[in-house]
Structure formats: C-alpha cells, structure tokens
Structure 1
Amino acid sequence: MIRGNDRAPVCMEERVMYARNRQPGAKPAVVGGKPITEELAAELRVTAFGTASCPPRGEWIHTPLIMRPSDQPLAYGLSAPRNGTRSLLAGLQAHIIKWLLFDSRPMTKDNKSVDPPDSYLRPNEDRQEEALWRACSEVIWRCAGGFNNQPDVKAVVALPTTNVYVQHSSAYYQDGITEMLHLFEHKSLEDLQIFLKRYLYLFQSEDGSGSLLLLYACILSRGCENVKKDLDGKLTYLVSTQVEGSVNVTTLLLSGRATPYLHNGVQYVGDEDHYAMPQFGVLSRSPVGLLVWYGNEDSITKNVSKQYPGSRLKTPALPIWVTSCSGHYGVLFNTNRELLRNYHAERRFDIHYYTCGGCHVLLNVDTRAHEDMVSTRNDEISATPLEKLIHTKWQDAKITWSGPVPFAGDSPN
C-alpha cells in the first residue's frame, strides 16, 4: 500500500463553523397546512425514535442544515458536529455534491464540462442555498415515490409554528417541535422545490431543528406504516442508538425505502423449518451509491446485522458514495461523471473524502495490474479503515494519500 509521506493525514480537532444567517428582510411566516394531530405526533415519534413518552435525543432538536462559509475551503459541505444525525446528513451531503457537480454543470455537445469541475465545488452563497433546497427536495420526493412513476404521489413537509397542538402527558412527552407542526402536501416536484426554497430558513436556523424536519419529511412522505414495513423487524424504529446513526436512515434518503437490506432486488430467505420469506433490498440503481466497511470493533458491530451493498449501490449512476466506515459516515466522490462508464477512466483516478465535521482528504486510486500486487495484499493488514472501505469497491487498488493536510474536522482513520 502506498501512502503519501508513508502515513495517512490526520484531521485536526473537529470544530464546527456556521455561516452567518444572511436571510434578507422579513422571513415568511408559516401559513396554511394542517395542524398535526395527537395520533400522528405519537406515531411519528414512535416510527422515528421508538417512543413518544420520552423526547428524542437533543441533537435532533439542535442540528440545523448549515453550509460552510462560501469564502472558505469546502464551501460545498454541510457543517455539523459528530452526533446521531450524521447518517442523515451524509445522505443529504451526497445529493448536494450531486447537484453542484453534475446536475447544475452546463455541458458541451460532446458531454464535456464548460468549466473545470473543481470550480463548481466553490459555490457562492446563492448557489449554496439552491443546492440545499434542491437536495432536500430530491430526497423527499424520492421517499414519496416521485421518481418511480407512481400514481398519486404526495410529498409531505412538516414545519413548526408557534401553536401547540399536543399537550404533555404520560403518553406523549413534548419536545418543542413535533407537537407544533403544520403539514403541507405537494403533488409535484416543482411545487415542493418552491415551498422548500421559501421556507429554507427554518431548516438553516442555527437554533433550529433542520435535521429533524428533514427526517420527518422523509418519513411522512414515505408513510409511517411503510417505513415500519421497510425495516422488516430488524429494527422497530428508524433512528438507532449508534453514535452517528443508522444505515437505514441513509437508505431511506438514497432509495426512498428504509431497507436494512443492501443487496440487489429481492432475496428469499428460509430453511427447512421455515417458509422462505422475501427480503426487499435495493430495487433499482441509485443515482448515489453506498459503501460499507464494518471494521473489527465489537462496539461497532454488536447487534448489527452485517449487510454489504450490491452492485446497484456499489456502482451508482454517478461517482458519489455515502460511506459508513466503522460506524463513521462520510462521502466519497469523483468529479468525472464518466468514471463508472469508462474503463480507462477507472484505471487511475483521484477521489475526495469529506465528512460533515470538516474532514477532507484527497486520495489517488490505481486499479491497474502491478507486479508488486502480492505485497500490496500483504500490506492490507496495515491499511487504514478508509482504505479498506475503498477496497470493497476496487479490491486490489493501490491507494496514495495526496493533496493538502485535511481541513479541520474528524479523522477518517
């Protein structure tokens, strides 16, 4: 294994930096919609967190959707501390990068970018905001089934008001958000985008609950009963107690289904004493992929059924992957949209790794056959967790750490 300076870069201590809220003028008040009922408030909390009689962990109430300052490095990235919202934010981050790098880039007739791709990773504040509401719209619309040509698609977004509709009781513990929601239905992606653009400030507010609002929108758009069916009894609720959250939250954002199964299609599992039962995995190729490496730590793998991604997640439509590396969530991406379509492009290429804590590293992946491949395999023992995760996609690749020392954030090692 080759590494720059014979060692992996070490990220500096995580320090989250928030951009200043620059919303000009008066912010639009939340008007219209339907007030949440006591039954739905309890069902929403139970589906997400397993109970309505205890409040969700405070991080869900106090983690907004904030981009890094546009005049500093990593302006394409979300900024958030390490907590249980990471599995959700990594999925959203991947879609932000998708829009900035690929969806918004003008292309020539021969499918080449007009400007250098790296220039799209330095968005100004206006493009940051557009990337954020477009990414939120895409994941919510996917949860509603909007990209599967389903009839009567209905995306649901819940926004907080100043009114309380569910009182505190032994059955329902108020959290300051859920019991104050108004629900808004949208039957087209365009209407959803206009709505989220208008009320984006509620997701961005530094003292707000942007992560919780996005989680609720995904659950409501999928439907509480459907989310429970997706989990297939592997979990009884969506958000796990793991430090950075559950992969089920990530699959909900990537595929629109909170499936714990990462294989392609449907597999039937049974034995001689039980009927074979279907396990619904990833039903179609995802625009954004997922790579998983569990590691060897009992604290990470305890009570976790090890599911490994099939080709529909390993080889997505675009070269962007959410990563779960020993329980730590991040995003791997390449700036060349042809990477997974062109054999020559995939022989040797650079790949970026980013986490919402601000860790960024640049690696070179070389998949060509080498005379010293045997020694490369032997060196796998000393490879970092991030390198081992990359090897789940490119098995025998040589990996070289390159680029500048990572910007402030949490380490991928």
Structure 2
Amino acid sequence: MGERGAGHPGHPGAQAALDEICNKISDLNKWREIFHFRGLEISTTTHQGRPGCGTDGGHGPGGAGGTPQPRCPPAVPRPPPASPRRGGQPLSLGMATGLRKVLFGDASRVFSRDWAQAHFRFREPHSDLAYALEADKGGTRAILMAVQGNIIKYLLFVRNTEYTHLERLCKISQKEQGEALAAALADSLWAAGEGREATVCLISAASHFVPTADYKADNFTERIQLFNFFEKAAAQKFIFDHINCFKSEGSKGLILFLYSLLFSRTLERVQKDLGGTTAHLLEFSCGTVICTQVGSVLKTPKFPIWLCSINGMHSVLFSTNRLLLSDWKMEHVFHLYFYNGQRGQTRTAHLTVDTHSHHWEEGRCADTSSPGKRSPSLEMAIRTRWPGAAVSWNGTDPFF
C-alpha cells in the first residue's frame, strides 16, 4: 500500500489526525458559546451584549450569584432566554433624548439618588406580609404602590391555589413572589400598550451611543435595550426569566419598569396623555423626583382594590371578596385590608365596615366631625365610597 495507504481512514496516522481536528472543533465551539454568552460575539450591524442587571453586581436570570459583572450571567454559561427579537433593539440617542424630555422636560436632567436605588423588594416569604413590597418615602412610592395593587390582584383573583382569602397573600414562597411581580409588571405594560403590545427594557454591557452636550449621560440609559412582545404571556415569561433585573439591589429596577411602561405606551402617546409637547411626567422637589401622573382612582373598580392617597402618602386598600362591588348584599358588613408600604407596618391592617344605618353610629359620625374631633384619614376615604359607614380597626391603632 505504501504512502498511499496513509490516507485511508483506517490508518493509525489518519485516525490521530482526525481526532486532533475533532478536538479543535470541539474547543472552538466551546469558546464560541462562551464568547456569545458573554456578549462578545460580533454582529454585522452592532456590538450587542446580552441584557443584564447593570454594573452593580446583580444576579442573573437563574438567580445564581458570583463576582460583580457588567451584567448578570449565571455561574454556568447557557443560551439567553428566547425572545421575539434576540438581542433586542438598542436605545438610540434620539430615543433617549425623547425619553428624558417626557420624563423631565429636559435631556440634561437625570434621576435622583432615591430613584437610582429603588427596586422591587418584598417582605419575608411565608409571612403575614409575604405579598407586600417595601416602599420608601419619596417619589417612587406612587409607582411601587400601583404595582402592589396589581400584585394583590394576581395573588387574590388570578392564580390558582388551594388557599382562600388572606392566606392567598401570606403563604407564598420567594419564587411565587417573583411570579407575582412578573405578572403585575406584564399586566401594567400590556395595559399601557392598549392590549396589543408590550416593551420590556433591560440593560446591556456597553453604551449604544455617544452623548451630546445637550444630553447628560447617567451610565444607565445609554445601555438600555428594548424587547418588544405581541403576546402578554410571552412578555410575562420574559420578565420572570429576568426578574432579578427588577428586584435585585443595585438593579435600578424601578427605573427599568418606568422606561418599559413609557415605551409600551409609546412616547408620542404619553406626550398626548400629558396634554402637550412641553408637559412632562416628573417634577423635582427638594432634591428628589416626584411622580405626578398616578391616574384617577375609581371608586368602583373591576376588582375591589383601591390605590389611595392618604395624607399625601400612597397606599393600597383591598378586599379579598371579589363580589363586594357586584353584589349589594355583600356591602352590609364586610372586611377591608390596608397596606401602606412602610417598614413600620408589621401586619396587614384589618378593618370591618358596617354600612347599616343605626342611630348610635349616626351620633358617632356627628361627634367625630365636630370641632376638635376628627376621624382617621383612612376612615374618611372609605366613607367617600360608603357614606356614613362605621369602621372598626379590630385592635389595630388607626392610621391618621
């Protein structure tokens, strides 16, 4: 056979060469996968990193921790979650400028420290307030409490569970907290998109544009990528897969949600909602940023959940009985629950409301309205919906 036989597949030398080639191909595929996951793969149009949770050491979609990275990969490389547009759409300078003008009226304005630090954080799982978000004082409270209302709606009236009434809110795990938050955020974004589409904003590793003199960089907005969805369920799954990018410390999760909300609505529609091209959503006050567009609070919503402003502080009042507003017989004597978002509240306030007209209750109402006497502000808010109702706090100190 001579040298011609060396090329035959069965020859030892040929087998060794083939094994070496296979090993090299295997190594090449391994590094290509790692580079692709790390956001280093070169695109024909732009360099796009995989969306992450920012530069503050947040955890990745799978919840795995590690050394702080420019985004949040899990410990073991794996393909990113599927999405309608893999990689998303990078935010352009024009879009960022329009976003800033809708928010602040000026592209040179940036978020204050309390906004930059705000994210969605729950109380302890399997506790009396397992369903509850913490809401610090300041402009972020209005958005947090609006999302809180949607979380309560999901846990009480949407998801399937064996628990009833208040147990549906208390007996939830950390994973179920994430599921509830994903459902609440997706519900808000889908509503903003008028039931047709939703946009989710996440952070990539690198900036997508070079700021100009009129635009002040914040090392956050410049790295935003937009992911568009045309099915609510797909948006909800995507948010859940990236839930730590909204709830981890340092994630700027509240701003991410606000950006997602505005792009789901579209900046053009938001500007029209605000009443003109010069109007904007947020106002500066004493060094912080205050949200001024919470929306009208309807007295008879579809679900018995009310976003309230009690003494200028946003909070949530709700009932566990879905029939409360649809069956007049339920409105004789019923229970309401109240959460104000403050860390000092250690359990859900339980109120009993009696709308029966009795002479001693009428005297009580007249007495509390006399000079020097006043009812708790929450009771006064309840009576805007049920005039003359008697309210019992069941042992809880009233919130004035």
Q: Tell me whether the two structures share a fold, i.e. TM-score over 0.5.
A: yes
Q: Contact (CA 8 Å) 2:90, 2:208: kept in 1 or not?
A: yes
Alignment of 1:48-63 (within 5 A): 48-63=103-118
Cα distance in structure 2, aligned partners of 1:412 and 1:179:
43
CA RMSD after TM alignment: 2.5
Query: In the TM superposition, what is the alpha-carbon distance from 1:195 to its structure 2 partner?
Result: 1.0
Question: Residue 365 in 1 paired to residue 357 in 2?
Answer: no
Query: In the TM superposition, what is the alpha-carbon distance from 1:29 to its structure 2 partner?
Result: 5.9
Q: Contact (CA 8 Å) 1:244, 1:329: kept in 2 or not?
A: no
The structure in which a higher percent of residues are helix is 2
Larger radius of gyration: 2
Structure 1 counterpart of 2:155 = 100
Cα distance in structure 2, aligned partners of 1:245 and 1:394:
31
Match of residue 160, structure 1, among 180, 195, 203: 203
Question: Residue 376 in 1 paired to residue 365 in 2?
Answer: yes
Query: In the TM superposition, what is the alpha-carbon distance from 1:55 to its structure 2 partner?
Result: 1.1
Question: Residue 329 in 1 paired to residue 314 in 2?
Answer: yes
Q: Contact (CA 8 Å) 1:244, 1:328: kept in 2 or not?
A: no
Q: Contact (CA 8 Å) 1:377, 1:396: kept in 2 or not?
A: no
Structure 1 counterpart of 2:100 = 45
Q: Structure 2 unaligned segments of length 5 or more: list them.
A: 1-58, 66-72
Structure 2 counterpart of 1:175 = 218
Please give the TM-score of this superposition, normalised by the length of structure 2.
0.73
Cα distance in structure 2, aligned partners of 1:166 and 1:62:
24
Q: 1:331 to 1:235 in 2, by over 3 A?
A: farther
Structure 2 counterpart of 1:314 = 299
Cα distance in structure 1, aligned partners of 2:278 and 2:337:
32
AA in 1 matched with 2:184: A
| Number of matched pairs | 316
Alignment of 1:103-114 (within 5 A): 103-105=158-160
Question: Residue 65 in 1 paired to residue 120 in 2?
Answer: yes
Question: Residue 120 in 1 paired to residue 168 in 2?
Answer: yes
Flag the structure with more relative contact order, 1 or 2, with Cα contacts below 8 A and sequence separation at least 6.
Answer: 1
Q: Structure 1 unaligned segments of length 5 or more: list them.
A: 1-19, 107-113, 147-152, 252-261, 263-289, 291-312, 406-410
Cα distance in structure 2, aligned partners of 1:166 and 1:86:
31
1:373-409 deviation line (CA, Å, top 9, x unaligned): 144134135112222211211121111212456xxxx
Structure 2 counterpart of 1:402 = 394
Three-state SS of the structure 1 residue aligned to 2:201 is: strand
Alignment of 1:230-241 (within 5 A): 230-233=273-276, 236-241=279-284
Q: Contact (CA 8 Å) 2:129, 2:169: kept in 1 or not?
A: yes
Query: In the TM superposition, what is the alpha-carbon distance from 1:196 to its structure 2 partner?
Result: 0.6
Query: In the TM superposition, what is the alpha-carbon distance from 1:353 to its structure 2 partner?
Result: 0.9
Cα distance in structure 2, aligned partners of 1:396 and 1:317:
23
Cα distance in structure 2, aligned partners of 1:115 and 1:157:
32
AA in 2 matched with 1:32: G
Structure 2 counterpart of 1:9 = none
Q: Contact (CA 8 Å) 1:60, 1:209: kept in 2 or not?
A: yes
Question: Residue 385 in 1 paired to residue 377 in 2?
Answer: yes
Q: Contact (CA 8 Å) 2:203, 2:224: kept in 1 or not?
A: yes
Q: Contact (CA 8 Å) 1:244, 1:327: kept in 2 or not?
A: no
Q: Contact (CA 8 Å) 2:271, 2:277: kept in 1 or not?
A: no
